[in-house]
Structure formats: structure tokens, C-alpha cells
Amino acid sequence: MAGGFRAPSTGAVVRAVLFDTFGTVVDWRSGIAAAVGGFAAAHGLAVDPGAFADAWRARYQPAMRAVRSGARAFTVLDVLHRENLDDVLRAHGLDPAGFDSAELDGLSRAWHFLPPWPDSVPGISEIKAGYVVGPLSNGNTALLLDMAKAAGLPWDLILGSDVTRAYKPDAAAYRRPADYLGLDPSQVMLVAAHPADLAGARDAGLATAFVARPDEYGPTRAGGASQATASEAPTAGDWDLNGESIVDLARQL
């Protein structure tokens, strides 16, 4: 954490350490399940909050795909989350029109207020002493700002996907933050719990660090996951660093 880590993959000294957020820094499933549980209780709905959260998250990549392909103009994640909520409600046999739309807006804003993993704030704080730290997330700036204020994430700066106008794993989503920082992509490291994200960063010229989040899809995942995206927790791979937590990565940096 004193700074100056040289990434084996690029040979460059890392100056900024940027973090994927959903799943890597914050526990989206617990936060969304809590919000959904409250919503379901208020309306007397028989809904499994964890399964609802998984279903909502499962619509995340498909919704961004239309933007990435150019089929749809850039649309901020807040809007995609809100649209996907309507879809998940319908998939549960519930008509979105049967609820107050402001209440659904509020439920969708639960994505702004997700709890951090226990090591996130101390680990990022340690890394901040030697590097620029910030999110590199598909979240929009207002979402990431609310998340940071609520969770106490000590970012140096926040450049959301509405600033870069690109969704990971498009190369522009990784390279434009480096441009704003006045750095070469090789001077930027992405920390993520997801191999596909890290592979996108590596292809764009960034250094990479994997952090294990075995509980991203809940503690029962190992015992039998209920859906494809939750089938297997990623493990350490061929990245510049591999950590058991962000605090562990801070020690290696």
C-alpha cells in the first residue's frame, strides 16, 4: 500500500487502483434482498427476497447488451434497473401498474445504498495511502455517490458510466477513466471479483487484481445454486494479483 507496485502483465508501475463495485466492493444481494423483503412485507407478497434479487441481477447484463451493441442509445443504469424491476415483477406474476410508481422508484434506488463487504472500507483506505482509488463500475455517478456516502467508501473521485458513456466490458469503459486521470491504461489496475470483467480490463491494457467473493450469490451457493449465474464462485486466476479480500490486496500492493 506504499504505492509503486509494478504489474507483471504490463511492466508498468500502477498509480490508480479502481474497483468494480457490485459484488466486489458491495454485497448487492443482501442489500437488494433486504429492500425486496421490506417491500414484499408491506404488500403481503409471497416472494423469496434472495431469489427476487438474483432474478433482478440476472437482467443486468442483457439490459446493457443493447447499449453496448449500439442498438440502444446510452441509457444510465438507474433507468435499466428500474425497467428490469418491472420485468421481474411480471415474472413473479405481479403487475407493476398495481403499485405506486414512486414506491417502485424507491425500491429501485436500493441499488444506491448497498452494504459494503466488511473488508472494503479498511482495504480501500489502506490502498488510498499509496494510490488513487475510485470505482470503475457500470453504475452511474449519482448511484456511486450515494453508495459511497452511505457505505463510507473513501474514493478519491467517482467517474460513473454516465461520464465514460460506456459499459464494461467495452474497452472504452476501462480506457476513458485512465484518460481523465492523465494516466496510461497500464498505470491503472482494476480490482474485481469477476473474471469476465478482469479479462476486459486486461484486453484494454490495464493491470488486474482478482478478489474472491465466494458469498456474492449468498452463503448457500456452494450447496446447490438455483440459477446459471450463480453456478460457481470464481477463484484465483492468471491476474497480476489475487486476494482473499481487499485488505489482503492492500498488503500485496
**CA 160 to chain centroid:** 11
Q: Which is nearer to its own copies, 211 or 253 (by Cβ)?
A: 253
CB 93, CB 87: distance < 8 Å: no
Q: Give the span between the Cα atoms of 158 and 151, in whole angstroms.
A: 14
The closest alpha carbon to 16, from 138, 140, 186, 137, belongs to 186
Alpha carbon separation from 185 to 12, 67, 117, 196, 207 (Å, rounded): 10, 23, 27, 18, 8
Vertex 148, ends 239 and 205: CA angle to 5°?
A: 25
Of all helices (H) and strands (E), which one includes residue 134?
strand 132-135
11 near its own copies (CB under 8 A): no
Q: Which is nearer to its own copies, 143 or 198 (by Cβ)?
A: 143
Q: Least distance from C-beta 237 to its own copies, angstroms?
A: 30
The SS3 of residue 209 is strand
Contacts of 73 (CB under 8 A, 6+ apart): 67
Q: Give the span between the Cα atoms of 189 and 36, in whole angstroms.
A: 34
Q: Least distance from C-beta 104 to its own copies, angstroms?
A: 17
Query: What is the separation, in whole angstroms, between the first and last Cα of the chain?
Result: 5
Q: Least distance from C-beta 166 to its own copies, angstroms?
A: 14
Q: Least distance from C-beta 43 to its own copies, angstroms?
A: 27
17 near its own copies (CB under 8 A): no
Q: What binding mask, one character per residue, do residues 206-245 give for its own copies by CB under 8 A, x or -?
A: ----------------------------------------
Which residue from 70, 182, 223, 224 is in contact with its own copies, where contact means CB under 8 A? 182
Stretch of residues binding its own copies (CB under 8 A), selected from 36-44, 134-142, 188-196, 209-217: 134-142
Stretch of residues binding its own copies (CB under 8 A), selected from 88-96, 113-121, 158-166, 243-251: 158-166
Stretch of residues binding its own copies (CB under 8 A), selected from 21-29, 41-49, 140-148, 233-241: 140-148
174 near its own copies (CB under 8 A): no
142 near its own copies (CB under 8 A): yes
Number of residues that bind its own copies (CB under 8 A): 20
User: Contact positions toward its own copies, by CB under 8 A?
Assistant: 78, 132, 140-142, 145, 148-149, 155-160, 162-163, 180-183
